[in-house]
Amino acid sequence: MTNAEKYVTAAYCVVFAVVLAYVLIIALKLQRLEREVDELAGRTPAAEDEEREAAPVG
Amino acid sequence: MASLVLITTALLFVFYVAPDDANQGFSQRIFYFHVSIAFTAYVCFAAGAWKAFRHLWKRDPRADLESYVWVHQGLIFGAMVLVTGSIWARISWGRWWVWSEDELVLFLILYLFYCAYFMLRFSVDPGPQRANLSAVYALFGVVLIPVSFAAIRLAKEVLHPRVFTLHGPNFGGWILVTYCIAQAALLVLAYTLYRVELAGKRLDLRLRELKEVLA
């Protein structure tokens, strides 16, 4: 591999790494948002009613 | 999906179809992405300025966030321009950076200017004041784009290659075809990333509002 080939490969790897890092950060953020949505769904009045209905009686 | 297909096609053309440049040889292949990324960064900053203008003019409630996301995209692509450009400079000039080159320094100024956009934005509490200040700043920044683009054509001492002149691109044939595919791929990639980030930010905002209501 010549010097030029090494540098060109490095340049394209940098672009790939930056895009990959960006996509990973966005994916992690979306996972966090999904968790928060689940938490909120559990706190809504409808979810609380369901919990009350599911509780054993007697 | 379209951006993935286009990026793959562009890479195939860059490495298997486009011929070696007569002057620069193999190292010229950096330019297919370097120039396309630079143009995409300019488009992102311009789109950010356009959304900022819409915020100030029409008071479009979505425009502030859209402007912010476009500027953020521009900064990511701008970072890639600086890194790929430095790698090319190392091959061709034997140095990572040349301070006497107006094109390089002006792009760095443009980049730092937009870095300061984030410092400004996050130093003000969320609300109309922050949105207005950010919009005015983004509009000022767009003035630097033609300056940066024209610098290379106005510079007396030029090391940086002139890819585009007033008479059109300085290349043809497969090199032009490959460049066009790479450019389309990066524009579509930028737009895809913009849509994904914007959707995430909007969801985050709505969740915060919902939490406040439920608290």
CA distance B45 to B115: 12
CB B27 within 8 A of CB B91: yes
Are residues B204 and A33, on separate chains, in Cβ contact within 8 Å?
yes
Q: In this predicted model, what pLDDT tens digit does every residue of B118-170 receive, in sequence order? A: 999 999 888 889 999 999 999 988 888 887 767 666 665 555 666 666 666 66
Select the residue of A14, A29, A36 nearest B84 (Cβ to Cβ): A14
pTM metric for this prediction? 0.83
Closest to A15 in 3D by CA, of B47, B88, B19: B88
Instruction: Single out the residue of B34, B26, B38 nearest to residue B87, CA to CA.
Output: B34
Residue-wise pLDDT for B80-107, tens only, equals 999 999 998 888 888 888 888 777 888 8
Instruction: Show which residues on chain A lie within 8 Å of chain B, measured between beta carbons.
Output: 2-5, 7-8, 10-12, 14-15, 18-19, 22-23, 26, 29-30, 33, 36-37, 40, 43-44
CB contact under 8 A, B207 and A40: yes
| Spatial CB neighbours of B82, under 8 Å, sequence gap ≥ 6 | B107, B108, B111
Comparison of pLDDT for B103 and A10, the residue scoring more: A10
Backbone angles phi, psi at B164, to 5 degrees: -120, 135
Distance separating alpha carbons of residues B151 and B107, to the nearest angstrom: 9
Sign of the C-alpha dihedral computed for residues B6, B88, B190 and B36 taken in this order:
negative
* Cα torsion through B122, A21, A11, B165, rounded to 10: -50
